[in-house]
Every structure is written in C-alpha cells, then in structure tokens.
A and B are shown apart, each in its own frame.
Chain A
Amino acid sequence: MENTSTLERTLRLIALTLVVVFFMFPIFWIFLMSFQTNETILAIPPSIVFTPTLSNYAALITGKLTTAAGSLDIAFMRNLGNSIFLSVTSVALALVLGVPAAYAFARHKFKGSEDIAFTLLSFRFAPPLLVLLPLTQYFQWLGLSDTYFGLIWVYQLICLPLILWIVRGYFEDISADVEYAYRIAGHTWFATFRKIALPLAGPGIAAAGLLAFIFAWNNFVFALVLASADKQPVTVGALAFVTSSGIQYGQIASAIVLSVAPTLALALYAQRYLVEGLSLGAVKG
C-alpha cells in the first residue's frame, strides 16, 4: 500500500478530517458552552469568540444560583457525589464477589461451571426494565426502595458480568504451573491465590474494575426507576436539572462537562484495555 496516489491520500485526509470533526465537535462545543453566559449562548450567529466565564461552574459548585428573579438551589454536587459513591462501592463489591468466582471458573472445570458463567453473562443482555419494574415493588416490601444499598445491589447486574468475564480471561492466560509449584511447596490454597494468582492478574483486574466503573457511572435506567432525587447519580440528575434550572443553558453544559470528565479521563488512562474489555474478552487490542 506504499504506492498510493496523491488523489487517494487527499481523499483519505478529507475523510479522516470529517470523521474527527463529527465525533469531536459535540464535545468541543459543549465544553465551550460551559464557559459562556446565557447572553453569548443565545447570540446569533453563534461565535467561538467570547469572554469565558467560570460563573456556571461556580453556581454548580456552591449550589446557589442567583438570578434577577431570586436565588435557586442546585443539587448537582449531590448528584456528582452520588455518582462517585454508587460507582466506587458497586465496583468494589463486584471485585470482591467477582474475582474469586472468575478464578474458580478459570481454574476449575466443575459441574455446571459453564452454565453458571453463562447465566451471569446473560444478565448483560437481558432488557433491564423487565426486572426493574417488578423490582420496584419488591424493593418497597423489603424497604430497599430509594436506598444506596438497593441501588448498589442492582448495579451488580452491570459490574459483575463484566468483571467476571474479563478477569476470567486474564486468569486463563496465566499458566497454572507457578501456582502448582507454590502449592507443592506447602502453601495453602488461599496463600497461593493471594500471593501468586492475584498479583499476576493484577493489571487485568484493574482494567476490568475501571471499565466496570465507567459502565456503572454511565448507567441511567436503574437510578431513574429506583432512586429519588437525593440518591440520583449525574446521568439522571442532569436530566432533571434541565427542567428545574429552566433556561440556564451554560450551567447545563458545565454540568455535562463535570459529569463526563471522570469517565473520559479514565478511558484515556485505560485505553489499552478498552478493546478487550468492551468485547468481554473476545477481541485482543
């Protein structure tokens, strides 16, 4: 493919530019909007030349919006806190539950192991509202509705299959011989798991955890159905924010920026593992 013509190279360049513009422009534009006041946002024609202001972020962070019409409370920081808390605890729980299970599935072909693993995987593909709607009633009876505990439990439906299948792949890639050698030297099963298997699969476990975090953070429907305003993460909160803040478009934009920044940063950090994680271990990046 070295003998490509100038025409072809030009066409490629144009195509790539269009692709980059299409996928990057919305992020760039919303980022700009977040530093604008309503006046500059509403100006026609739109301009990328304006005096940037931090007032949108200031209003979100202090939780107080002062307008001519009076003062308004913004609960956005609460949503952001909920997102952090829900995602971190869900992933931590999923790691505690999922890593030993992944190890069991990778090292022991026991009776029903494939069935169990696939049942867990199938949760990834079932329509969430199928279980969520009856679950609202069960949660009411159990006193779990609108609790962090209930939400974290349901979040396992996203985090567990992901962690289980990715980490299982990593354990399968590590030769079991080192572990056997360590066992023969007289160490217990648990010591072998902790001192040999876990460190070797460490990078994979970390990558799976990061991905699970991104998916938990981005989830929308679980919290929409099961959480009330003060437990909602940013995905649901930002949407409610649109109606409550009325016409403060700059703040909506800065709320979006604050909401997507953590996942974007993690994705860039862990991009090496994304291909493998997103395909649940089917494709190596």
Chain B
Amino acid sequence: MASTATLRKPASGFRISRKMLPYVLSLPALLVCIGILIPFITAVIYSFQRYRLSQPWARQFNWGENYLNFFTDPAFWNTLKVSLLYAGLTVTLELLLGLGIALLLQRRSTVNNFISIMLLLPLMIAPALAALMWKLMTNPSFGILSYLASQIGLHDFRWASSPSTALLTVVLVDIWVYTPFIMILLLAGLRSLPTQPFEAAALDGVPRTFVFFRITLPMLTPYILTATLFRLLDSIQQFDIIYAMTQGGPGNTLTVFQVEAYLNFFQSTNVGRSAALMVILWAITYFLSNVFIKNWLRLRERARGEA
C-alpha cells in the first residue's frame, strides 16, 4: 500500500496527509465528547468544597472533609448498603433466571425463537416507564398485583410504599426489565458453543449434571462474566427505576448512590456532598469497567475470529 500518497479533497486544494486522515476523521466525535470532561473535572473539584447552593457565600475548599464526614454519616452507609444490596440482588437473580431461560430456549425451534424475541420486549421499554407500569399494577386501590396478593392472603401488601417491601418491588421491576438482557447474551453464547464435546459426552453416556457443570458452564463462563459485569455496572448506578417508582422513598429506604446525589443536589442543595458521592460511585464503576473491558475484549476478539 502506498502509505505516503497524499489525498486531494475534491473541489478544493486542501490537502490532508495520509497520516492525518484518521485524526481528522475521529476528531469531531472526540470534540463533542471532550466537553463532557470539563464538568467531570468540575465535579471532582466540587467534591473537595464546602458548597451549598443555599449558602453560596460560604463556599470554600474544605479538602477531604466531605469524604471524611461519610465515615460517621449513617445516611452514607445506608446509601452504600442499599446500592450494594440492590446490585447484588438484581444481578444474582437475573443471572440465575437468565441462565435458566437460556437453557430452556437453547434448542433452535420456531416456538423457542418466537419466545426469545417476545422476551426482548421488556428490555426495550424505558426503565422509567416500566417502573410506571408496575406502579399502576401495584396501586393499592386497583392494581392487579395488589388484588392478586390479597387473594393469596397478603392483605394490605403495600409493595413500593412500605419500607419493608420497597426494595423487593424495585428489584422485581429491575428483574423484569433486565433479565432478558442476560438471557439473550447467554442464549447467543450457548448456541455458539462447539457441538463436539456434547456429542462425545452423549456417546459416552456422561450424566447430564456432569455435562452441565463440567462442559457447558466452563465454556459459557466468558459470556456469563461479560453479561454479569455489564449488568453490575448498570445496576450499581440504577436511577430510573427507583426514582420513577419511589423517588428514593419511603423515607430513605432506597436512596442508592445516584438517587441520593440527585436529592442532595436538588432538594438539600448540598453540592459538595452530592459531588463526593458521585466521585465515589465513579471510582467503583471505573474499577468494574476495567475488569469488564478486559473480558469484553477477549469475547469480542473471539466473536470477530469466528466471523
């Protein structure tokens, strides 16, 4: 390839050297995103300031105070606990359920393919609107789920409006929306596995539990890891479902990181604390996304190799 050749833009004498071309092509995309890096840096600066919108005159650097205060702040520990609980519960349950459904639909048949397409629909509904759907279904005066709960003896089951069941309810909505995500990734994984090991095992009469734990599961692991990390990254940052369903309530039952930061900023106008919360969440997601990207790259290379 003649790498030193220069390119002539049609209708003008403007020359772009071959070396510059890729930069020129990717620069606009980069420029649009660079604007986002500035507020990111600003957020980090805010997190080291005492900054309340209600008292702008008292704004000053207090260095690590926002962070140090978290150690003795029960609200922060609650945020951390709820966020981890939410992420842990949703991802674990979605993984088990998604794997189960993928195994059920593994064989290619018209019915299975049809069902797997149908199951994609919840994933395509905006999470905020999905929460609204479930809010209508769990409404105490006419919600179908409240009615069904009362039919099985759970009278006055208050779903998201009771502190004891609020987490359960939003986790349920999350499972409804995102299980299909894990399901389709694992289904694609299952269907792409080589068939020889399974045929050999069947010929030798190997028990099916053994096949599942010793052949299927190990070969599926890269897919499971990618799907899990993907979901974990989103779930630890969940905002839409929780905010649309309860706005973090009742009380502070569901004040996960992003909801708490939002409420801190707009309701208690404590910008410093809000920013510090977001920086901590960013640190968590940065760590997770590095692990994720490594895994994802390996899987991606494999997919490209097979193509």
| Chains A and B are bound partners | yes
Seen from chain A, the residues whose Cβ lies within 8 Å of a Cβ on chain B are 1, 12, 15-16, 19-20, 22-24, 26-27, 29-30, 33, 41-42, 44-46, 96-98, 100-101, 103-105, 107-108, 110, 113, 116, 118-123, 125-135, 137-138, 153-154, 156-157, 160, 164, 169, 172-173, 180, 188-191, 214, 217-221, 224-225, 234-236, 238-239, 242, 249, 252-253, 256, 259-260, 263-264, 266-268, 271, 274-275, 278-285
The 5 A-B residue pairs with the shortest CB-CB distance in the complex, in nearest-first order: A218-B126, A104-B25, A104-B22, A108-B22, A134-B39
Chain B residues positioned under 8 Å from A188 (CB to CB):
7-10
Contact A271 B117 (CB under 8 A): yes
Interface 9-residue window, one of B66-74, B85-93, B140-148, B153-161: B140-148
CB distance from B224 to the nearest CB of A (A): 12
Q: How many residues of B contact A (CB 8 A)?
A: 98
CB distance from B99 to the nearest CB of A (A): 12
Chain B residues positioned under 8 Å from A157 (CB to CB):
33, 36
Question: What CA separation (Å) do A137 and B39 show in the bound complex?
Answer: 9
Chain A residues positioned under 8 Å from B137 (CB to CB):
26, 29-30
Contact residues, B98-135 vs A (CB, 8 A): 100-101, 104-105, 107, 115, 117-130, 132-135
CB distance from A60 to the nearest CB of B (A): 15
A-B contact pairs, 6 of them (CB 8 A): A33-B136, A97-B28, A126-B282, A134-B275, A220-B128, A234-B126
CB distance from B228 to the nearest CB of A (A): 12
Knowing A189-B21, A281-B303, the reply to whether A104 touches B129 (Cβ < 8 A) is: no
Contact B39 A263 (CB under 8 A): no
Contact A280 B296 (CB under 8 A): yes
Chain B residues positioned under 8 Å from A281 (CB to CB):
300, 303
Contact B282 A110 (CB under 8 A): no
Contact B128 A239 (CB under 8 A): yes
Where chain A touches its partner, the secondary structure class is helix
Question: What CA separation (Å) do A130 and B277 show in the bound complex?
Answer: 9
Knowing A135-B39, A172-B304, the reply to whether A110 touches B274 (Cβ < 8 A) is: no
Contact A180 B285 (CB under 8 A): no
Where chain B touches its partner, the secondary structure class is helix
Knowing A242-B132, A264-B121, A283-B226, the reply to whether A129 touches B25 (Cβ < 8 A) is: no
Q: B208: nearest residue on chain A (CB-CB)?
A: A1
Question: What CA separation (Å) do A154 and B125 show in the bound complex?
Answer: 21
Contact B7 A267 (CB under 8 A): no
Contact A42 B141 (CB under 8 A): yes
Contact B126 A217 (CB under 8 A): yes
Contact A239 B132 (CB under 8 A): yes
Question: What CA separation (Å) do A29 and B139 show in the bound complex?
Answer: 13
Q: A30: nearest residue on chain B (CB-CB)?
A: B133
Contact B133 A131 (CB under 8 A): no
Contact A133 B120 (CB under 8 A): no
Knowing A130-B282, A188-B10, A281-B303, the reply to whether A221 touches B239 (Cβ < 8 A) is: yes
Contact A279 B25 (CB under 8 A): no
Knowing A12-B104, A264-B121, the reply to whether A134 touches B239 (Cβ < 8 A) is: no
Chain B residues positioned under 8 Å from A263 (CB to CB):
124-126
